[in-house]
């Protein structure tokens, strides 16, 4: 349920926006706008929501995570009203249209927040009501840049229906509405993510159960390697009693006391025939061991999924659901898309991904297509060699072990390898500068730091393995 006009009037009365300054504009999602409001000794966040089920305007004390990249509309507002002063904030009649008048220098901007459940929008005009930009572009309503929007000029007729402010206890209505809708949104998102997680986990559990059945059936139908080993033992123990170039031989089995027929390859020696059965036995044993290991892995996977299902059913933490969904997220479809070229080496050091260019061509391609500004770049000083990049992890700095892995890889793919040690420097990719008219991939680092590392061959072997 969205706010009615009586509730909007009450909230505007509580907000006391006139005289406040707008510090920053943010847009966490397509339907929500946040304005950081400042007045001496008081900073708050004004939320304007265009969600059809919860169209509203109020101060909020809750944090809203950014779900989309910075939108065009938010960028426009930042340039237009950041640092501006709200000189007027009022509702137009009973229309659920809030008008904010913002002055910045000698420029006046009118912001109309139409809080209609069926047709909400934020429309920004100049002081002559010419539309500068809108959150949702609607050409059929002439709500586009260059149009005109002046709801105050319309013949506004008061509604015959009397709306009242909902019961909000001892809280301010603003605080009540803020908590009510945040909790409502949290519950809706929680249940949506829970449903997604349950659906994906149940699908994965069914797939795992099918894989277990197939592995068990294959294991049950697999031949016994011990039988073939026994045939090899029989051949070796009767090597002098078996005619040369025989295609088949019948021997006494000391385990059962019965005769056993054994097929032989006349082109092989008897020792080679015995080895054939030994190798066959080893292959079958290895296959059974592999199937047994695979079954153990599948049962562990099944147990893990069942534990996740229980956690998903019981939790009220969106963060946990998001973590589980990330773990079971299917790989994106590549249908109709060009397969991404793999450049150089892609290795793993703990949670950090490492990219290695082994020559100037790979160095250049990694710099152009895969290295981002906050990634770390490593290179050996005074020797030609490959570039090593450690991909950035949000709010995490590569620990010493990861840096040593990167340094050793840089030495390994450089002319300094034969020295057994090297001086290296590293910096973030955003501090690299390309050399004008320089050779392919050539860069000059700035804000670089130095390391001296003794080459560790075993470390490199572990990484490459």
Over residues 257-272, the mean pLDDT reads: 91
User: Do residues 201 and 312 touch, judged by C-beta distance below 8 A?
Assistant: yes
Per-residue pLDDT, 337: 47
Q: What is the pLDDT of residues 31-52, one digit of tens each?
A: 999 999 999 888 999 999 999 9
Per-residue pLDDT, 320: 83
For residue 71, give both structure tokens: 């939108």
Per-residue pLDDT, 178: 92
More confident residue, 361 or 328: 361
Q: What is the pLDDT of residues 416-453, one digit of tens each?
A: 998 999 999 999 999 998 877 777 888 899 999 999 99
Per-residue pLDDT, 325: 80
Backbone angles phi, psi at 340, to 5 degrees: -65, 130
Please report how many Cα atoms fall inside a 13 Å half-sphere around the Cα of residue 421, on the Cβ side.
4
Per-residue pLDDT, 344: 87
Q: What is the pLDDT of residues 335-344, one digit of tens each?
A: 444 455 678 8
Give dist(CA 150, CA 163) in Å, integer: 25
Q: What is the pLDDT of residues 380-395, one digit of tens each?
A: 998 989 999 999 988 7
Per-residue pLDDT, 50: 95
Over residues 153-174, the mean pLDDT reads: 81
Per-residue pLDDT, 335: 42
Per-residue pLDDT, 336: 46
Per-residue pLDDT, 334: 40
Q: Is the pLDDT of residue 97 over 70?
A: yes
Per-residue pLDDT, 156: 61
Per-residue pLDDT, 256: 87
More confident residue, 445 or 283: 445
* Three-class DSSP labels, the chain: CCCCHHHHHHHHHHHCCCCCEEEEEEEEECCEEEEEEEECCEEEEEEEECCCCCCEEEEECCCCCCCCCCCHHHHHHHHHHCCCEEEEEEECCCCCEEEEEEEECCEEEEEEEECCCCCCEEEEEECCCEEEEECCCEHHHCECCCCECCHHHCCCCCCCCCCCCCCCCCCCHHHHHHHHHHHHHHHHHHHHHHHHHHHHHHHHHHHHHHHHHHHHHHHHHCCCHHHHHHHHHHHHHCCCCCCCCCCEEEEECCCCCCEEEEECCCCCCHHHHHHHHHHHHHHHHHHHHHHHHHHHHHHHHHHHHHHHHHHHHHCCCHHHHHHHHHHCCCCCCCCCCCCCCCCCEEEEECCEEEEECCCHHHHHHHHHHCCCCCCEEEEECCCCECCEEECCECCECCCHHHHHHHHHHHHHCEHHHHHCEEEEEEEEHHHEEECCCCCCCCEEECCCEEEEEECCHHHHHHHHC
331 confidence band (pLDDT: 50, 70, 90): very low
Contacts with 315 (C-beta within 8 Å, 6 or more apart), sequence order = 194, 321
Per-residue pLDDT, 159: 65
Over residues 269-290, the mean pLDDT reads: 85
404 confidence band (pLDDT: 50, 70, 90): very high
For residue 309, give both structure tokens: 């299902």
Per-residue pLDDT, 293: 79
Q: Is the pLDDT of residue 332 over 70?
A: no
pTM over 0.85: no
Phi-psi region of 316 (alpha: psi -120 to 50; beta: other; left: phi over 0): alpha
Per-residue pLDDT, 394: 81
Q: Is the pLDDT of residue 357 over 80?
A: yes
Give dist(CA 442, CA 3) in Å, integer: 60
Per-residue pLDDT, 158: 64
Percent of the chain with pLDDT over 90: 50
Q: What is the pLDDT of residues 48-78, one digit of tens each?
A: 999 998 999 999 999 888 888 989 999 999 9
Which range (114-118, 313-317, 404-408) has the least confidence? 313-317
Over residues 275-281, the mean pLDDT reads: 88
Over residues 92-115, the mean pLDDT reads: 95
Over residues 131-142, the mean pLDDT reads: 94
Q: Is the pLDDT of residue 157 over 70?
A: no
Per-residue pLDDT, 329: 58
Over residues 392-406, the mean pLDDT reads: 88
Give dist(CA 261, CA 434) in Å, integer: 76
Contacts with 327 (C-beta within 8 Å, 6 or more apart), sequence order = 308
More confident residue, 349 or 100: 100
């Amino acid at each position: 349920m969205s706010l009615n006009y009586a509730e909007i009037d009450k909230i505007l009365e509580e907000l006391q926006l006139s005289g406040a300054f707008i510090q920053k504009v943010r847009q966490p999602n397509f339907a929500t706008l946040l304005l950081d409001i400042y007045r001496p000794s008081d900073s708050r966040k004004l939320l304007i929501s265009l969600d059809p089920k919860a169209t509203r305007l109020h101060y909020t004390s809750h944090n809203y995570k950014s779900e989309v990249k910075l939108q065009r509309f938010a960028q426009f507002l930042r340039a237009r009203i950041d640092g501006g002063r709200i000189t007027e904030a009022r509702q137009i009649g009973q229309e659920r249209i809030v008008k904010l008048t913002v002055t910045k220098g000698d420029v006046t901007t009118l912001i109309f927040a139409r809080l209609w459940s069926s047709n909400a929008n934020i429309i920004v005009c100049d002081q002559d009501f010419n539309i500068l930009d809108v959150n949702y572009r609607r050409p059929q309503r002439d709500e586009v840049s260059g149009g005109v929007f002046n709801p105050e000029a319309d013949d506004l007729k008061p509604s015959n229906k009397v709306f009242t402010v909902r019961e909000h206890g001892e809280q301010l209505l603003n605080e009540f509405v803020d908590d009510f809708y945040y909790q409502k949104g949290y519950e809706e998102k929680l249940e949506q993510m829970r449903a997604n997680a349950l659906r994906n986990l149940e699908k994965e559990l069914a797939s795992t159960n099918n894989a277990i059945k197939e592995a068990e059936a294959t294991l049950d139908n697999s031949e016994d390697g011990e039988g073939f080993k026994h045939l090899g033992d029989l051949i070796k123990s009767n090597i002098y009693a078996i005619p040369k170039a025989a295609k088949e031989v019948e021997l006494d089995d000391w385990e059962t006391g019965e005769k056993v027929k054994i097929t032989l390859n006349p082109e092989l020696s008897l020792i080679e025939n015995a080895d054939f059965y030994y190798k066959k036995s080893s292959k079958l044993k290895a296959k059974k061991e592999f199937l047994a290991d695979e079954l153990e892995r599948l049962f562990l996977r099944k147990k893990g999924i069942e534990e996740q299902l229980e956690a998903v059913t019981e939790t009220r933490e969106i963060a946990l659901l998001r973590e589980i969904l990330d773990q079971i997220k299917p790989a994106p479809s590549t249908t109709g898309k060009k397969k991404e070229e793999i450049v150089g080496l892609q290795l793993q050091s703990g949670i950090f991904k490492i990219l290695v260019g082994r020559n100037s061509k790979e160095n250049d391609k990694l710099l152009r297509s895969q290295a981002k500004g906050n990634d770390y770049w490593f290179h050996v000083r005074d020797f030609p060699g490959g570039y090593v990049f450690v991909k950035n992890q949000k709010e995490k700095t590569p620990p010493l072990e990861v840096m040593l892995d990167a340094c050793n890889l840089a030495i390994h793919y450089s002319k300094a390898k034969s020295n057994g040690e090297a001086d290296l420097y590293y910096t973030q990719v955003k501090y690299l500068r390309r050399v004008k008219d320089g050779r392919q991939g050539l860069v000059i680092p700035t804000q670089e730091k130095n390391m001296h590392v003794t080459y560790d061959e075993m470390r490199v072997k572990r990484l490459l393995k």
